Amino acid sequence: MLNKTNYLVKYYYIGLKKYHGSQRQKQYPSIEEKIIEALKTKNYIKTVREGSVNFASRTDRHVSARGAAFSFSTSKKLTLMEVNTALPKEIGLWASSSVPEGFFARFQAVSRHYKYILSKSSHRLRSLTQVQLDSMRKACKILKGRHDFQNFSKRKKDQENTVKDLDLVKMTELDEFIIFDFISRSFLRQQIRRMVRKIIDVGIGEMSLEDFKVLFDSTNYISYQPAEPEGLILWDINYGDEFELIEDDTSIERMREYFGEKKRHHSLKKKLFEQLLKRR
């Protein structure tokens, strides 16, 4: 029997319309499906089960990622660019590390970092005053820490524990954009997009900070639409200092060329691609 090596891999993707989210689905194309097909094509795995393929996160349609991660097992030495040649340019592997047997990318993650990019030119935000921006920052401070985030998530019949610890909630102004950063070990379905939606409501005066705090009361479920998915980026997944992820220069250059090209051709997503181009 051939000896196998377990790998942790970082990858990026752009949430194009043709993909129905990152998670595999029987009838629709997905990011995971493309990666699995590439691993099979290049003879790294035969099946998902045989290769112990485990993805660390799931994102909705139109959401992008810079530092998503998955783990798998193979008897072949991993060469990232070899896999990338079997992937479309909107998806790419760019860093890897060998990890112990039994390692699962989803469960070993220490924290997940998301960014949400919001244009001030949006009709709802076109005339924000400094006072309103300060109110949005106060809402961010309220979100930090341990809370019941049921009212900031998409409700499910078999609802999981909705208490989460948010380690970082930060709002930054950059040119004509507002960028939010959220870090936690894990997030609920649509949690970030719903937090952003309610932060916006506070900023434009549709919700007071006191009413914002009431959303932590899980006895009264409140239904509303989340912020649009296009501005959301899975920025990074942190695994601590135990593993040294080695970046592949050729793979990163492939990523930078793709983002640079798209930045020139898609002005509306210019800031998103500029953020994705940043290594840290």
3-state per-residue secondary structure call for the chain: CCCCEEEEEEEEECCCCCCCCCCCCCCCCCHHHHHHHHHHHCCCCCCCCCCCCEECCCCCCCCEEEEEEEEEEECCCCCHHHHHCCCCCCEEEEEEEEECCCCCHHHHCCEEEEEEEEECCCCCCCCCCHHHHHHHHHHHHHHCEEEECHHHCCCCCCCCCCEEEEEEEEEEEECCEEEEEEEECCCCCCHHHHHHHHHHHHHCCCCCHHHHHHCCCCCCCCCCCCCCHHHEEEEEEECCCCCCCEECHHHHHHHHHHHHHHHHHCHHHHHHHHHHHCCC
CA atoms within 13 A on the CB side of 79: 8
Residue with tokens 């029987």: 26
β partners of residue 237: 112
Catalogue the active-site residues: 60
Residues 6 or more apart in contact with residue 180 via CB below 8 angstroms: 115, 116, 118, 140, 169, 170, 171, 172, 192, 196, 199
